[in-house]
Structures are given as C-alpha cells and as structure tokens.
Chain A
Amino acid sequence: MKPRVGATLASTTDQTTVIVVRWGAEDLDVTCGGAPMVDARGPEAGTSHPADPAQQAGTVMGKRYASEEHGVELLCTKPGSGTLAIGGVPVPLKDAKPLPASD
C-alpha cells in the first residue's frame, strides 16, 4: 500500500491503529502481529487474521514508530499486542528527546 499522510491504518490481529505521519515513495505493506494492516476507512476494515505469536511486542499509545530505511513514520493512536513491522522487520520506536514545555 501507499497511504497518504494522515491516513489511519488498522491492525487485523489486534486493536492497534496508527496514523501515517510520513511515507516514502515506496509501495509497502506494514504488518501488525504478522498480518497486513488495512485502511481503517477502506473495504477491508474490520477483517481479522490470526496473530503471529512471534510478533507480539505490543504497540504503545502516543508513541511514534519510524523506519529511516523506508522513510516511514507511524503514530500509534490505539494500542494493541502486535508488533509493527515492514517486510518482517520490526519498525523501531522513534526515540524522542524530551523537550521542556514551552507554551
């Protein structure tokens, strides 16, 4: 898939949803719990697949997951139990340096 920035993707193995913050030029499949995520407003929304027990690292609400290699960044808007991955490789948490509140 090649979703636009701002699109919501839903997991088909758990409750996870993410918002696309950045997406490179590639056509890619993001998986959660081992199964492809789908457009939360598309025809496949609501479908479910069995989860891969090896892909259960969990997603954390409000965290950003970024793959520098693919230029993809996802913001978790609903947490779940699956692992976010691209091509089977987990998408790492983006480490954000905490910034003091400025406003």
Chain B
Amino acid sequence: MNITVLLDMAADGFGDRVVVGTREAGLTAQALRARASAGAALVEAEGADAILHLAVNTPAFPVALFAAGLAGVPLVPVNYRLGAEQLDHLVGNHPRALVVADERQRAAIERAGLTARTPEEFLQQTRTPAPHAVEPREVDPDSAAVVIYTSGTTSAPKGVVLTHANLVSYVLGTVEYGAAAEDDAALMSVPPYHIAAVSNALTNLYAGRRVIVLEAFTPQDWVETVRDQGVTNAMVVPTMLARIMDEPGLDRSVPSLRSLAYGGAAMPRRVVEQALREWPAVDFVNAYGLTETSSTITVLGPEDHRAGGERLSSAGRAVPGVEIQVRADDDTPLPAGTSGHVWVRGEQVSTAYAGGGSGSSLDADGWFHTRDRGRLDAEGYLFLEGRVDDTIIRGAENIAPAEIEDVLQRHPDVADAVVVGVPDEEWGQRIEAVVVPRRGVDLDAEALEALRATVRGSLRGAKTPDRIVAWAELPRTPTGKLVRRDVVAGLAR
C-alpha cells in the first residue's frame, strides 16, 4: 500500500490538527494533503520520475515526500554537504527529477541540466490547489517510495530503495494511530537526507504529533526551541546530546520534554548517564537501525534506562515484526552471549539498492547482513560492537574497536575516543587510539601513558592501544558518524 494512506488517515481522522511547523504558522493534516496533491500535479505536469530534495529540512520536505507518493515516484533526499564530484554523480542518477534545492545548490543542479525550485518556491507553488485533482495512484507496494543514499563512511554511497511496503510496515509495526495528545510536539534535528528524518515525518504524522524541525543544530537553539515550542518529544544523534551536555553555561531546563530518543551512532555511556542525571523526568529511548531497515529495528526503552547497569550499553530489543540473529563468519547462527555478525529480517527491511540490478540484498531466507558486530543476551537485548569493516586484525586476532573505545570514553578526562587499526609490518595491523580531552583538560604524554595503563588494567595487553594521541576533535559526519579512514590518514601524517 501507498505511504499516502497514512496521510489520508491523518487528514480524515484529525485534519484540523497542525502536524508540521509552528503552532501559529504550521500546516494542518488537511493542508499537508492538499499541498501534496498540488505537488503531485507538478510532478505529472513535468513528467518527472522522482522528486530530488537537496535542501535543509523545512515543511517542503514532508510535502515533497507525500507529493512523490501520490504521483507514484520516489523521493530522493540528497546530502547537501556532499562535495561537487559526489553530488554530480548522485544528481546524474536522476536526470528526469523534479528538483527542490536550496539556492546555493542551483549551480550543481544546472550542471546536471535540471532546473531547481527552492523549498520556498515549492511551498508557494503548492499553496494553490492543483488545477485538476490528482487521481490517487494505485502504486505497486514493492515500488520505491524513497531512495536514500547511505553516508558512505566505509564505502561509496549506495542508494537504498525503501518501498511503500517497507515504510508502511515500519509505521504500522511501531506506532499507534492518533496516539499523540493534541499539544504534543516533536523536535527533529537530523537532516532530511537521513533515514530518521523520513521515518520521523511518517511516524509523527500517523501518531498525530506536530513536527518542528531545527534547520541547523546548536545546543542553544535546541534548548530554546524545546522551551519556546513546548516540545514533548525529541530525537538527536549522540554528538548533539554530548554537545548539549558539555556546553558551558547553557540553561538546560526543558520542562515540557517527556521523551528523548537517540540513535544514528554509538552513544558514549558517559553522555547518556549525564543526561539521565540532568533530566530525571525524561523518558530516554535508544533506537538502533539502518537506512536499509527503514529506521528503528531495536529499542531500549525508558524503564531499561532508569534501571541502569550494563543494559545502558545495549541497543535494546527487536521491535514487533523484526527478528535479529547473530551469526559466525561462516553464517552459522550463534547462541546468546556470543559475538558475531548481526543479521535482521522483517517486512521493513529493504531488499534492493538503486542501480543494483535484479539481485536481492537479502540471503535465501530473507535475512539482511547489517555489517554490524554484536551479541544478544539471554533476554534478547542486543549489544553492538561496531562495524564488521572496522574490526582490527592484529596478528591473527579479531579485535572490535568498540570495546576499547568504551573503556577510553568512560575515563573522566576523555570527551570522545576512537580506536583504529593502522598498517603494521609485524602484526598486520596495530592498535592506535585518538582521544579528545574534556574541556579544560590537558592530556600530556604522561597522562596519555597513564590512559594506556588504564586500558591495560580493564582489558588486556593485546587489546591495549600501541599508541594513544590527543586531538582537539574527531572527524565525524554532521549526523555523528565517525569517519575512521580519516582517523587512520591523520595518524599516518
């Protein structure tokens, strides 16, 4: 079924409710449907085969998402921070797209022979109803609703095809229709090319919760928006929460906030513990998922957060309709407590990459390899141990950087840490670490040597970094993902 079914249900069930933007100037569910319909008419008039969104998050994004759904073409949100070469390549994949792009992207769009509308122009053009009503298309549930390019931190970006069936299955499996209270409001801080922005637009609409977006994140803007707009629910990536917690002199009071979800990268234990102390009344939710899984596949809920302990380092348990399996290198399933490759199965899991030919990205039994390492405990809680591709092979031993990073990040002088494998003639790879000192702390050679001793005391010699250096910051994407190849390159300089 089409994702626009979700919009229809919202417009039919609570059409007068503002669902996008500020309470004063936002769009009601009915207005969102009317604009999506006008947007779909534009797609049809131009014979476009996709809507390309190359802009910061504004109300044009949900309008474009549902306009594409109504017209039966995919929405393709593209990272506006990409370099010219990558951007040209991705835009070139969609030569017949209707383009919504920020003014500063105009050159890139024109290089591809396309014309661009700004989000403001797109919203202006969808203000007036379509000259003729767009007939709701019967779309194939297995056709693309969204194509999202992965961040490409470990390989070239891949276009993940999420079908209408994938996304609707995710929403129905995780959200209760109309469950939000009239004055609930969700604050979205991740950029629109991230899967969480797509799933967020769908789930909050279906729940009847108004969504406010933060175009560019700063700790100050975030807390002020929460207070000014009476935000009840928010989603952040770990680096954002760390910055909110670390910002000196920031008024962190957020009386309206009831629920804070985080995900997108590993959350340092120190940061979440600090946030739990800072905001004891807030329900914390850790969500793990991938672009390929239509967002969340496991959830660690508020009770687990309050209970504390080792489970705070867990990504939680599988959501309804999702199965998780941990397998050995040779694909045999492993019992609870044993680390291996994390595999996932469920209707919300994408089966294909754009331009990937007819091959499925699933195995014969429908399982998808996340390329994450992890283990399940006896009650099904998933503990993640980093990307398979980040595994360090020192001698013949596989070493997961996450375990060492966890020890470093728990040290009171350390704000952030990364552990990588560096080419080594004797061992194949040796272990090196980069730490970012906490504000006001100076980590000299002696302090770094003491840090090595701490790691050796917690783990063992083979897992102790051969070298630890201190940097002012780590190379991360704007959504908080570490770019390890840049760390390795930096260490070689």
Question: Is B115 engaged at the interface, CB distance under 8 Å to the other chain?
Answer: no
Q: A77-B9, A101-B203, A103-B235 are in contact. Are A96 and B176 (CB under 8 A)?
A: yes
Question: Is B126 engaged at the interface, CB distance under 8 Å to the other chain?
Answer: no
Residues of A near B2 (CB, < 8 A) are 6
Structural contact, A5 and B1, CB atoms closer than 8 A: yes
At the interface, is chain A mostly helix, strand, loop or mixed?
loop
How many chain B residues touch A (CB < 8 A): the figure is 41
Checking A63, A77, A99 against B174 with a beta-carbon cut-off of 8 angstroms, the contacting residue is A99
Residues of B near A102 (CB, < 8 A) are 174, 235, 261, 263, 285, 287, 295-296, 299, 319
| CB within 8 Å of A: which B172-214 residues | 172, 174-179, 186, 196, 199-200, 203-204, 207, 209
Question: Is B12 engaged at the interface, CB distance under 8 Å to the other chain?
Answer: yes
Question: Is A92 engaged at the interface, CB distance under 8 Å to the other chain?
Answer: no
CA distance A101 to B208 in the complex (A): 12
Question: Is B320 engaged at the interface, CB distance under 8 Å to the other chain?
Answer: yes
Interface string of A49-64 (1 = CB under 8 A from B): 0000000000001111
Within the complex, the shortest CB–CB distance from A61 to chain B, in Å, comes to: 5
CA distance A77 to B287 in the complex (A): 28
Structural contact, B261 and A61, CB atoms closer than 8 A: no
Structural contact, B233 and A101, CB atoms closer than 8 A: yes
Question: Is A87 engaged at the interface, CB distance under 8 Å to the other chain?
Answer: no
Residues of A near B246 (CB, < 8 A) are none
Interface string of A67-103 (1 = CB under 8 A from B): 0000000010110000000000000000011111111
Question: Is B13 engaged at the interface, CB distance under 8 Å to the other chain?
Answer: yes
Question: Is B302 engaged at the interface, CB distance under 8 Å to the other chain?
Answer: yes
Structural contact, A103 and B9, CB atoms closer than 8 A: no
Q: A63-B177, A77-B5, A100-B259 are in contact. Are A6 and B141 (CB under 8 A)?
A: yes
Checking A19, A61, A63, A98 against B1 with a beta-carbon cut-off of 8 angstroms, the contacting residue is A19
Interface string of A39-51 (1 = CB under 8 A from B): 0010000000000
How many chain A residues touch B (CB < 8 A): the figure is 20
Residues of A near B204 (CB, < 8 A) are 101
Residues of B near A61 (CB, < 8 A) are 9, 12-13, 177-178
Structural contact, B5 and A19, CB atoms closer than 8 A: yes
Q: A61-B178, A62-B13, A62-B177 are in contact. Are A100 and B283 (CB under 8 A)?
A: yes
Question: Is B333 engaged at the interface, CB distance under 8 Å to the other chain?
Answer: no
Structural contact, A103 and B12, CB atoms closer than 8 A: no
CA distance A28 to B1 in the complex (A): 20
Q: A77-B8, A78-B12 are in contact. Are A100 and B320 (CB under 8 A)?
A: no
Structural contact, B296 and A98, CB atoms closer than 8 A: no
| CB within 8 Å of A: which B1-58 residues | 1-2, 5, 8-9, 12-13
CA distance A19 to B6 in the complex (A): 11
Residues of A near B203 (CB, < 8 A) are 101, 103
CA distance A16 to B212 in the complex (A): 33
CA distance A89 to B138 in the complex (A): 31
User: Residues on B close to A: CB < 8 A?
Assistant: 1-2, 5, 8-9, 12-13, 138, 141, 164-165, 172, 174-179, 186, 196, 199-200, 203-204, 207, 209, 233, 235, 259, 261, 263, 283, 285, 287, 295-296, 299, 301-302, 319-320
Known contacts A61-B178, A75-B172, A96-B320, then 10 further A-B pairs from the complex at CB < 8 Å, ordered by chain A residue: A6-B1, A63-B177, A77-B9, A99-B175, A100-B261, A100-B301, A101-B175, A101-B259, A103-B196, A103-B199
